[in-house]
Amino acid sequence: THFGFTNVPTSEKVKKVRDVFDSVAPKYDLMNDLMSMGVHRLWKRHAISKLNLQPGDHALDLAGGTGDLALLMQKRMTRSGRVTICDINYSMLDQGRHRLTDEGWLCGMEWVQANAEELPYPSNCFDVVTIGFGIRNVTNIPQALSEMFRVLKPGGKLMVLEFSKIAIPALRPLYDLYSFKLLPEIGHIVTKDRDSYQYLVESIRMFPDQESFKAMIEAAGFFNVRYENLSAGISAIHLGYKV
């Protein structure tokens, strides 16, 4: 089966993404650690350090799932800041809420089940919008980017952390071997669910490269858009501003 972006009708993609995350939610954090050998934690910390968050800021973390980025932001803003976490999937939100309650970090956080393509917020109300490893799962990416632009305050900042394209050609065969062969295997062993991890690998392949995605962010109205490769382009951080 092929679950790529272009070959699947919209409703089918929404359903597929929901099933994937329903299935992986309970083991999502563990899988992230195994698959990236813990490196996703460094990427996330680095991405949040780029935001220059201030105490009192209100951040929106889209596709916030298990709350990783939200927690990092809340810590930086101290308890005077606020983070709203949006995810389309209830299982992922529930998982995150429990985890962050256990860690004693729930105050200042708001958990909302919503689609990034139709944000339930008025225009110009957030200082920062983030989305970590979520944008590639969204069906209509240009629509989601314009929603992010709309809800940001003028002067607000967008940060997208997403898998990207390997920038060093010599490393590509190794990366292909890892992602096509090993990763679904690890997924199968840990979650008994090879299909979901197969989908994740394919969704990474289908996602635009650094420059093309930068152009999409600019097309949504953002200024001063730039990106930084992480681990040779396995992931990238894109930043942009609303003027």
Measured from the CB atom, is 63 or 129 closer to ligand SAM? Answer: 63
Among 81, 132, 156, 187, binds ligand SAM (CB under 6 A): 132
Q: Site mask, ligand SAM, residues 101-120, x = CB under 6 A? A: --------------xxx---
CA angle 23, 235, 192 (to 5 degrees): 20
Among 60, 63, 128, 152, binds ligand SAM (CB under 6 A): 63
Measured from the CB atom, is 40 or 165 closer to ligand SAM? Answer: 40
Exposure pattern of 177-192 as b/e (b: 16+ CB <10 Å)?
A: eebeeebbeebeeebe
Q: Token pair of 112, please? A: 């909302």
Is 138 among the residues that bind ligand SAM (CB under 6 A)?
yes
Measured from the CB atom, is 23 or 210 closer to ligand SAM? Answer: 23
Which range of residues in 57-65, 182-190, 203-211, 227-235 is near ligand SAM by CB under 6 A? 57-65
Which range of residues in 100-108, 126-134, 177-185, 219-227 is near ligand SAM by CB under 6 A? 126-134
Q: State the virtual CA torsion across 23, 29, 35, 36 in degrees, nearest 10.
A: 150
Binding-site residues for S-adenosyl-L-methionine sit at: 66, 87, 115-116
By CB under 6 A, name the binding residues for ligand SAM. Answer: 17, 21, 62-66, 68-69, 86-89, 92, 115-117, 132-134, 137-138
